[in-house]
Amino acid sequence: MITKFQVAYKNLLRKKIRSLLTLSGIALSAWVLVSLLGFNHGFETALNKDIDNMGFQMMIMAKGCPYEAATMMLKGGTGLKYMDTSIADTIRKEPDVEKITPMLMQTVFDPNKGESGGIAAYLGVEPKSYGEMKTFLTFRQGGWFTQADAYEAVMGYEAAELEQREVGDLILIPGKNVQFKVVGILNRTGTQDDGTIFVPLRTLQKIFGKTDALTTIGVKVRKDADSSRIEEKFYALPDVQVVNLAQVKQTILSLVSTAKVLVLSIAIIAILIAMVGVINTILMSVHERFQEIGILKTIGAMPGDIFQLIWIETLLLCTTGGVVGVVLALILSRITELVFRNLLPYSPSGGLVLIDAKLVLFTLGAVLAIGLLSGLYPAWQAGRIRPLEAIRSDVNG
């Protein structure tokens, strides 16, 4: 016996082009929806990963001290401000603080870099606390310094590549004429660490006569801690500024959310258009089969049977369209990612469009729900057709 599904399928095949166009509309809507939700998910995940890769959620530095390399280079390596190491001890005592890592940045002018000289920067770190904070740092060669006051250096991959250094080679601090032995080369991380030359904190303090001075303290707070409250507390410390990376993340997310709202609006419009397309297709199909439905009713079909038949057609269209859309989104995810990367002023490293099973199921469910909703009216219209009126009508003729 022929089932309702088979009847619905055959009905859709009767108007192949129309069914295909409607299906394309649904597929495109599903594609846009999956891609956008995937982007939403992917962007946040990538951003979280980037922030986690920094190892600390807060940076504390002396007021007015440039806190990234680019600003420092623009200032010609000048303008570094210092805070006392005792601040690190105060912060360490804070119960909500899980870990801290003190750092000292120092720069020298190297007259033999380019035509007019350049800046060479060195970051003094404690290998233990810095390594613990940045667990993603792995070594391509060697390892961390052997002693806290050793004349040894660890180089980020790009710094080592520029200086053509390998483990066992020497580096020289221009102007100071102090030599360091390279004991470790880090693997690439995609962060600022790639271009950094790390030396033991104590050694750098000694060479530059900055004993008891720090430029930055990286702080990792406990997971359940209220970072805003801690930030307020740190602001009370004398002459320090606090950069809360959690807030930075929120700022980026809110900046991106403007773009997301715009694109999501487009997606909603696309879905509405697809919905209207489905309603139109099914309504036309019902209209064309006015007499046929009447005959079906005459031979015993109940309004519920007709309703189901029409609704199944919608279901078939939407399911197929949804599946095609999801497959499209999966295949084209790399291209979508490239488009987003080009459109956004800042995008984190790693995959920007993340499509997982949960998202696929959600989209299919949403498309199905929208489709079924769209099919309600045409199915209801078909169900209430009066048999005699339908047979007498001249809809096809």
Partner 1 sequence: MFSYVKRQIATKAAQFSAKAAGVVLVALLAGTGAAWGAVGCDLNDPDRDVARLFPESTGYKAMYISVQQRGGEKLLERIEAKLGDKFHGLFETIDIPYTVYEIRAKNKKIGYIHGVNQKGQFGGIQVFLALDLEGRIRAFYIQKMTSQHAGKLRDAKFGRQFIGFALADFEQYDVASGKASGRVDEIRNPAPEAEADFRAALRATKKNLVLMDEFVFSSKVLSPDNGASPQ
Among 4, 5, 67, 259, binds partner 1 (CB under 8 A): 67
Shorter beta-carbon distance to partner 1: residue 239 or 292: 239
Window of 25-33, 157-165, 278-286, 318-326 that interacts with partner 1 by CB under 8 A: 157-165
Q: Residue 392 burial (CB < 10 Å; 0-12/13-18/19+)? A: exposed
Contact string 252-281 vs partner 1 (x = CB under 8 A): x--x--------------------------
Token pair 């390892």 is found at: 143
Which residues make Cβ contacts (< 8 Å) with residue 299, sequence separation at least 6?
none
Q: How far is the CB of 132 from partner 1 (least distance, A)?
A: 18
> Do the bridges between strand 118-125 and strand 197-200 make them parallel or antiparallel, or are there none, so unpaired?
parallel
Residue among 94, 96, 110, 239 that touches partner 1 (CB under 8 A): 110
Residue 348 touches partner 1, criterion: CB under 8 A:
yes
Which helix (DSSP H) or strand (DSSP E) does residue 190 occupy?
none
Residue closer to partner 1 (CB basis): 53 or 308: 53
396 binds partner 1 (CB under 8 A): no
Instruction: Give Cα separations from 347 to 247, 337, 344 (angstroms).
Output: 17, 10, 6
Identify whether the C-beta of residue 121 lies closer than 8 Å to the C-beta of residue 106: yes
70 is an interface residue for partner 1 by CB under 8 A: yes
* Residue 44 binds partner 1 (CB under 8 A): no
Rounded least distance, CB 106 to partner 1, Å? 16
- Asked if residue 33 lies in contact with residue 27, where contact means CB atoms within 8 angstroms, the answer is no
Q: What is the largest CA-CA distance in the chain?
A: 105
CA distance 122 to 93: 28
164: contact with partner 1 by CB under 8 A: yes
Binding window for partner 1 (CB under 8 A); candidates: 22-30, 51-59, 206-214, 318-326 = 51-59
Among 99, 140, 222, 260, contact with partner 1 (rule: CB under 8 A):
140
**Between the CA of residue 276 and those of 14, 329, 372, what are the distances in Å?**
21, 22, 12
Rounded Cα distance between 62 and 212, Å, is: 13
Alpha-carbon distances of 189 from 54, 144, 230, 381, rounded to whole Å: 10, 16, 29, 61
Residue showing tokens 């980037």: 50
Residue 161 in the binding site for partner 1 (CB under 8 A): yes
Which of 19, 35, 53, 281 binds partner 1 (CB under 8 A)? It is 53
Q: Could you say whether residue 187 binds partner 1 (CB under 8 A)?
A: no
Q: Tell me if 45 contacts partner 1 by CB under 8 A.
A: no
Binding status of residue 85 toward partner 1 by CB under 8 A: no
Contact 194/136 with Cβ under 8 angstroms? no
Given 63, 229, 341, 392, the residue binding partner 1 (CB under 8 A): 341
The answer to whether residues 286 and 310 touch, using CB atoms and an 8 Å cutoff, is yes
Among 104, 171, 279, 306, indicate the residue that binds partner 1 (CB under 8 A): 171
Taking CB under 8 A as the criterion, the residue among 7, 51, 327, 391 binding partner 1 is 51
Binding residues for partner 1, per CB under 8 A? 50-51, 53-54, 67-70, 110-115, 140-141, 158, 160-166, 169-172, 174, 177, 179, 185, 188, 190-192, 194, 243-245, 247-249, 251-252, 255, 341, 346-349
